[in-house]
Amino acid sequence: MTWYLVRRIGQSIAVVIGVMILTFILVHLEPGSTAKAVLGLKATPARIALFDNTYGLNRPLPVQFWLYCDRVLHGNFGVSYTAGQPVSTLIAQRLPRDAVLLGASTLLALIIGVPMGLYQALHHGTVRDDVVAGTWFTLYSAPDFMEALLLIAIFSVHFHILQPNFPGGITSIGGLFGDLNAMVLPVVVLAINSVAGFSQYMRSSAIEELAQDYIRTARAKGVRERLILTRHLLRNALLPIVTILGLALPDIVAGAVIAEAIFNFPGMGLLFWQSALSHDFPVLLGATLIIGIATVLGNLVADVAYGILDPRIRHAVA
């Protein structure tokens, strides 16, 4: 386990460096010069030279990359072109709100997806399995922005039950909870996108476990079916879901951009979308770096958790 852990952490560090190289390359792809973007188009050559000198923009690329890493590791992601605030501040304000939104939707998706997958596994190969699979498959395939719009059309425009978007000016997490009504649609839309993945993994994992000897033994000795499901099957079949949670992070984040843009949810996704429309590159690249690192960490934690939860893996790699 220790050796595995060391190797896995080493890989993760390599990937984090890779993500930094990637964002560094993207910074340099940016059309026009950074100095002009910050100082304005009318900046004099002398001021541009001074700016380039101050920020090391006239140094060789490897040196610039080193300076970039140094800045990033000190939490300095640059200053937003449009908001005039440090990118780290903008992101730090929004991350907790995303934790609430994505946490709630993922939880909802698990609450629906896990029992659904179990149900499908127990009725494996019957019409009921096909109907459930078909329904989620269709919902998963339909583009999320359409589902969002249709839900708005039904619940906000037609029935006037739910708010179609967040009121502007929410600054605290408490504000989110103060507006629970507006939370419903974003959470539901994001959950719909994840349920299909979770339920299908749960289904195949449960089918695999149902064929194992320990289930047959439990049935043979007369354990009640409900206990077999909760004590034996569920615990073992849930294991792969842990890994999927880690791997699903990029998809969840990408879905968040669209959902937040539609529902005006004041999170990273909305910030990202608005920055993309206004060409605010420091924010875009800072957010990308954070998302990349979060994904790497998510995968690492999922792998390690998998090892801790499943002794077979722990001992196989030790």
Binding site for another protein (CB under 8 A): 11, 14-15, 18-19, 21-22, 26, 29-31, 137-138, 140-146, 149, 153, 157, 250-251, 253-254, 257-258, 261, 272-273, 275-277, 279, 281, 284-285, 287-288, 291-292, 295-296
Give CA separation, 201 vs 105, 112, 195, 211, in Å.
Answer: 18, 13, 10, 16
Closest separation in Å from C-beta 314 to another protein: 19
Taking the least distance from each CB to another protein, the nearer of 50 and 133 is 133
Identify which of residues 175 and 288 has a Cβ nearer to another protein in the complex. 288
Identity of the residue, 166 or 218, whose beta carbon is nearer to another protein in the bound complex? 166
HEC profile of the chain? CHHHHHHHHHHHHHHHHHHHHHHHHHHHHCCCCHHHHHHCCCCCHHHHHHHHHHCCCCCCHHHHHHHHHHHHHCCCCCECCCCCCEHHHHHHHHHHHHHHHHHHHHHHHHHHHHHHHHHHHHCCCCHHHHHHHHHHHHHHHCCHHHHHHHHHHHHHHHCCCCCCCCCCCCCCHHHHHHCHHHHHHHHHHHHHHHHHHHHHHHHHHHHHHHCCHHHHHHHHCCCCHHHHHHHHHHHHHCHHHHHHHHHCHHHHHHHHHHHHHHHCCCCHHHHHHHHHHCCCHHHHHHHHHHHHHHHHHHHHHHHHHHHHHCHHHHHHHC
Min CB(154)–another protein separation in Å:
11
In the bound complex, what is the minimum distance in angstroms from residue 25's beta carbon to another protein?
Answer: 11
Between 228 and 310, CB nearer to another protein: 310
Nearer to another protein, 30 or 310 (CB): 30
CB of 18 vs another protein, minimal distance in Å? 3
Nearest to another protein of 88, 288 (CB atom): 288
Smallest separation, CB 280 to another protein (Å)? 8
Beta bridge partners, 79, equal 86
Whichever of 218 and 298 has its CB closer to another protein, that residue is 298
User: What's the min distance (Å) between Cβ of 278 and another protein?
Assistant: 8
Q: How far is the CB of 72 from another protein (least distance, A)?
A: 15
